[in-house]
Structure 1
Amino acid sequence: MSIKRHASAHWSGNLKEGKGTISSDSGALSDQPFGFNTRFEDKNGTNPEELIGAAHAGCFAMAFANELSSLDVVPNDVSTKATVQLEEIDGGFKITRSDIDVTLDAPGADRSVIDKAFKAAEDGCPVSNALNAEVKVTLTVK
């Protein structure tokens, strides 16, 4: 099976004064504005790193829930938060890591089963595998 998803971006102008929009074919994003100030100055609006973080958090939550379910654990909640780090290196910028913090609510689940599912999700998350950056995943169990 091969699934293709599409997104697009448009940019006008130079880096500092220019403006762009990001859209996805699904319509979840439709001409969302972004610019230097939303990426490098923490102004309101989106940016590529935030979108990578959203994709990573969503993918890992699904992967972990799938691995848990394959071991007969149906979680009440898998919550994830991604922190994508962009650093200036040698005059350019590079995404150097993506950290995923996971909180699991699965009352009565055996910790060894949780850990086995967590490791499988950590190894198998498609977005984790797609990133060419250090990926660190942590788990908090309620």
Structure 2
Amino acid sequence: MERKAEVLWRGNLQQGQGEVSTESGALKKVPYSLMRRFGNEPGTNPEELIAAAHSSCFAMALAAALTQQGITPESLQVNAAVSIEKNGNDWVITHSNLVLRAKIPGIDQNRFNSIAEEAKNNCPVSRLLDTEISLDATLDEGELRAQH
């Protein structure tokens, strides 16, 4: 299986701009630039895309691990924060922090923690990233809401 994305960049780093599109069409000419990466201009940036990939991959890995044990989650809400820092002359992705709020009937905290940690370690995106990955996992009895 292979998934594809395409980028078109125009100009130098400071004033230039790019567009990113995905084969599926989920992203179509979404703008990105230096100011979108290190500022707050509308558009996207590589770290945001990595955070989206990591959180969605982890949620699927956790759902798979739970399913293998005969457990069906009611909901898994995952947020990822990917950090980039200057290291000498280079920029380095230093950390990906996964925050999970899960509603899973009939599971105890220890089993939940163990399965979630295993899913974090075995998620294909986690395996791809050469950085520290942390997980803050909470079993939540309340109603989960999508965060934007």
Could you say which TM-score interval applies, normalised by the shorter chain?
over 0.9
Shift of 1:90: 0.8
Instruction: Tell me the equivalent position of 1:34.
Output: 32
Alignment partner, residue 94 of structure 1: 92
Q: Aligned residues, how many?
A: 140
Please tell me whether the aligned partners of residues 78 and 105 of structure 1 are also in contact (alpha carbons under 8 angstroms): yes
Give 1:112 deviation, angstroms.
3.1
1:97 Cα offset (Å):
0.9
Unaligned runs of 5+ in 2: 141-148
Counterpart of 1:113, as a letter, is R
Q: CA separation in 2, counterparts of 1:80 and 1:66? A: 15
Q: In structure 1, how many angstroms separate the alpha carbons of the residues matched to 2:77 and 2:11?
A: 38
Q: What letter corresponds to residue 97 of structure 2 in structure 1?
A: D
Amino acid in structure 1 at the alignment position of 2:29 = D
The answer for unaligned runs of 5 or more in structure 1 is none
| Contact 2:117–2:135 (CA under 8 A) maintained in structure 1 | no
Greater Cα shift, 114-123 or 80-89: 114-123
| 1:71–1:117 CA contact under 8 A, matched in 2 | no
Equivalent of 1:135 in 116, 133, 136 = 133
After TM superposition, the structure 1 = structure 2 runs for residues 13-52 of structure 1, keeping only pairs within 5 Å, are 13-52=11-50
Shift of 1:135: 1.1
Which of 108, 112, 118 does residue 106 from structure 2 map onto? 108
Q: Is the 8 A contact 1:71 1:113 kept in 2?
A: no
After TM superposition, give the deviation of residue 42 of structure 1 in Å. Answer: 1.9
Confirm whether residue 63 of structure 1 aligns to residue 61 of structure 2: yes
State percent identity of aligned pairs.
37
Note the 1:3-18 alignment, pairs <5 A: 3-18=1-16
- Give the RMSD, CA atoms, in angstroms: 1.1
Question: In 1, are the aligned partners of 2:80 and 2:96 still within 8 Å (CA)?
Answer: yes
TM-score, normalised by the number of residues in structure 2? 0.90
